[in-house]
Amino acid sequence: MNLKLDRLKNFDGRKGPLVLLILDGVGMSRNVAGNAFQQATTPVLDRLFTSDLYLELKAHGKAVGLPSNGDMGNSEVGHNALGAGRTISQGATLVNEAINNKSIYNSIAWNNVIKAGKLGHTVHFIGLLSDGNVHSHIEHLFSMINKCVEEKISKIRIHALIDGRDVLDRTAPKYIEMTESLLSEINIRNQYDYQIASGGGRMNVTMDRYEADWDVVKRGWNTHVLGQGRKFNSASEAVNTYYSENPDINDQYLDPFVIMNEDGVPVGTIQDGDSVVYFNFRGDRAIEISRAFEEKAFNKFDRVFHPNVFYAGMMQYDGDLNIPNNYLVSPPKIDRTISEYLCNENIRSFAISETQKFGHVTYFWNGNKSDYISEELETYIEIPSDKIEFDKAPKMKAAEITAKTIELLETKKYQFGRINFANGDMVGHTGNMEAAIVACETVDTCVGKILEVVSKLNGIAIITADHGNVEEMFIEVNGERKIKTSHTLNPIPFAIYDSEYNSEYEMKNKDDYGITNIAATLLNLLGYKKVADYDESLIEFI
């Protein structure tokens, strides 16, 4: 494979480093109401975002390989796009294609799932029950349920993780009613036994990521596998009870619940011989529960009972570590990422973030590959995240990230660095406007400190984002203000801070430019031509 980069004839880059600052979850909207970024005091970013070297980019929908322009972007596809330099079909698109062409149902993994059911065991589905299309889609679940009916599988259990993050808060009853209605219709028509067995809010049960809090996964294990948790007669009853007990509770933080039969016994514990499908397609919040099912020498918590099941993910969530071993749809294969080219040119680089986004600036940036491309040329730094709800500490680890970034830059060893500030996204997801304003102001201060060092070193910085969130903290629905904790469809900022800028280049500006155009721009600013099949650069040399 040819990974050779060609030098530009009229621009060699700057003497100092090129630094990419990713403001996770900071989109651009002209609406002030509900816009934490607009309401925050951000003098550094305001100056950058009104300069001549500024434009706005698409970071959602087809621009990042998702099925439609109604699909919001997310950190995973955003960082895939940043690293790949071109649009790659992503999780939801791949699953849709596999369902439409039936390849998902011809896979070895699916046949093993069905085999367990035909032998009289239970088929279990665990995943996020919504149509947010970021981690999962309820229609994917319904397609598999209906295929089980076609295959004459008589017993299914659903373990429903409640969203309120990729969709509007307190919409859980809608998705539960849709599911219960489908299951009831199937049971009446076929005399089958299809039920919701357990569940809980996604941030409280099962869906931890980057080993930030294994207790989240433990609660999921206890709920789904062991049938331990608060007992209810139905999922609808569980959610409505939690709502009535705490009118301010957010769907994503709902406590675990277990559905009981008329004898007070859990309806859906996971037993030897069963099959389990984790139907989320996105990887970051799927890896840990997959490890709990698959690893024999698992030591993160006491599983009490480790059932011998056939376990499959919707996709393989980590190809390098083979997590899980069995999966229904192959993940996107992303080769020739920008870091592969830079390493081939012996360019030293670093990547830094706190735990919540560390995998994004490494694994996802590198095309869904774990570990270094070159340990000799790359340095990866993870700052451990606090184990606390992020609106309680909205500054998160931005100061620590900034201090470490400055330390790395001042060694003068690195020509390129990428930094992710998680504040806008993680605090934006809480729905807390006051905390989100603090998050934006914190990031602004930290960006300013890094730019001072970049300037001192005669370097360049690019300030951008991976998707929107914090700029739309609530919306109006039927005249009622609703807290919005999900990502957005808004464009993202893109600004160049060039300490030695002398009008050698200018910004292009097309309506269809997106986040995939950034990689070629990075290459240009390092003094290289864009790779042939990368999307075009955002700058034009004069």
Tokens 């996105």 -> residue: 282
Phi-psi region of 108 (alpha: psi -120 to 50; beta: other; left: phi over 0): alpha
For residues 357 and 366, the answer to whether their CB atoms sit within 8 Å is no
3-state per-residue secondary structure call for 373-429: CCCCCEEEEEECCCCCCHHHCCCCCHHHHHHHHHHHHHCCCCCEEEEEECHHHHHHC
CA distance 54 to 506: 10
Residues forming a β-bridge with 323 = 318
Tokens of 41: 């005091």
Nearest to 499 by CA among 16, 7, 11: 16
* Full DSSP string of 455-519: HHTT-EEEEE-SS--TT-SEEEETTEEEE--S--S--EEEEEEETT--SSEEE---TT-BGGGHH
The number of CA neighbours under 13 Å toward the Cβ of 396 is 34
Residues forming a β-bridge with 23 = 421
Tokens of 366: 């590198």
| Active-site annotation, residues | 75
* Full DSSP string of 174-224: HHHHHHHHHHHHHHHHH--EEEEEEEEETTTTT---TTS-HHHHHHHHHHH
One-letter identity of residue 129 = L
Tokens of 22: 């990713």
CA distance 115 to 310: 10
Tokens of 93: 């698109």
For residues 485 and 252, the answer to whether their CB atoms sit within 8 Å is yes
- Which ranges constitute the DSSP H helices of 271-371? 287-294, 338-344, 355-359
One-letter identity of residue 534 = Y
